[in-house]
Amino acid sequence: MSPTVIARHVFLFACLAFAALLILAGWVLRDQVYRTFQDPGVPFQTYTPPPGADYGDEAGWYVREAFSDEDEPAVFFVHPTTYSGGANWNGQLDKPRSVEMVRSVVLPNYAAPFANSGALFAPRYRQASLYAFMNNREDSVRARLFAYADIQRAFDAFTAQIGDTRPIILAGYGQGGLDVLGLLIDRVSADEELTARLVAAYVIESPVPLDLFTGPLQSLPPCTTPEAVRCVYGFSSAMASEEGRLHILTERAMSWTPDGGLDFVDGRGLLCVNPLLSAVSNDYASARQHRGGVAAEGLGADVVPAPIPAQTGAQCADGVLFFEQPRSRALHRPRRLVEDYRLPPFNLFYEDIRFDVTRRSFNLAAILQDERQWAPPLGAPEAIEDAPVIAIPDGRRY
């Protein structure tokens, strides 16, 4: 073989080796590369957000259902993050891919268990991008607070539209869970009337720090038993092998502080309601207690999915719900970029949550019916002054 041919072979081998190294580096650093492309590249202070929604109009909601009767609960559901990022810190209301994910994945998998117990209200909002949750820069925190301001406006419109006697259910997943937790602090906990009408608040896949329950959420305790109402139900889940996700949930995640800011959850203790037990418990629940997961992507609102039961056991430990790999591949997480920050396109605890909210709704209805029979509370006592004694001319006193 001539030196020229050998040199060509060596050069070709070097090129192939270099290409292989590039591919390997791209695979290893794929999440970092993805993040780079999702960075809006402009400070939030100089960023112009997309137009917001009018919550007095039907177009401001993904779903705004009519009530069947005056006692039917109203469900306020906040969807998780469906906008990845790139051009904006906060997603446009009409971004096609984001809207399609809400309609085809989120509503049938995550909102449907609650809609079974009441009329569903699901607002459109300028959600913070997924990129804004992949780091804790000041710009990212501002984007989250901006999205929450939309949810505050939506909730105020929601309470005005449903009247002042109807039971309510609050539910949110991921970013939506963070926003629902904010509403509990800012809108519900200090309002005795709203608190009395609350079936429960479901804050799922967003860490709930325990220090809030000795601060602003003293009137809204955790759902410690399956029968409790006017309480907070929450968990963040992972498998023991998902080290990256566990690091995010317990150390990198941020949540509300007792004074209304956002800070890291590390060291604050986390709420964990085991969905298989419907209670705050560190006991292990076996797969036999799993009522069923659902992969309902693409199903219409009028289609009732068939749950797949006995798929996983679950146990709370250190504020995290640890579950086992489901038997059905339909309930396995897909291999996507930055998967640790996403919700899967199925609901592993669909039937468990559906059953839970149905039971708590029934319990609150019975309590409210009983309370309506009570006599109204007495008003504040009035001071009565002594009447003066006046003598009359004949000397007698009356």
Is pLDDT larger for residue 9 or for residue 61? 61
Q: Does 69 score more than 60 pLDDT?
A: yes
Q: Does 332 score more than 50 pLDDT?
A: yes
Beta bridge partners of 355: none
- Residue 30 parent element (H or E): helix 30-38
Residue 313 tokens, joined: 């056991």
Q: Does 24 score more than 60 pLDDT?
A: no
Specify the range with the lowest mean pLDDT, choosing from 6-10, 139-143, 248-252, 383-387: 6-10
Q: What is the tens place of the pLDDT at every residue in 110-119?
A: 999 999 999 9
Return the pLDDT at 388. Answer: 61
> Is the distance from CB of 168 to CB of 194 less than 8 angstroms?
yes
Return the pLDDT at 22. Answer: 40
E strands, the chain, are 61-64, 74-78, 119-123, 168-173, 198-204, 232-235, 237-238, 254-256, 262-264, 273-274, 279-280, 314-317, 320-323
Q: What is the tens place of the pLDDT at every residue in 277-318?
A: 999 999 999 999 999 999 999 887 678 899 999 999 999 999
> Average model confidence (pLDDT) for the chain?
90
- Whether the model clears a pTM of 0.85, i.e. scores above it, the answer is yes
Return the pLDDT at 20. Answer: 43
Q: Does 26 score more than 90 pLDDT?
A: no
> Is the distance from CB of 220 to CB of 190 less than 8 angstroms?
no
Q: Does 6 score more than 70 pLDDT?
A: no
Q: At what angle do helices 175-183 and 138-162 cross, to 10 degrees?
A: 60
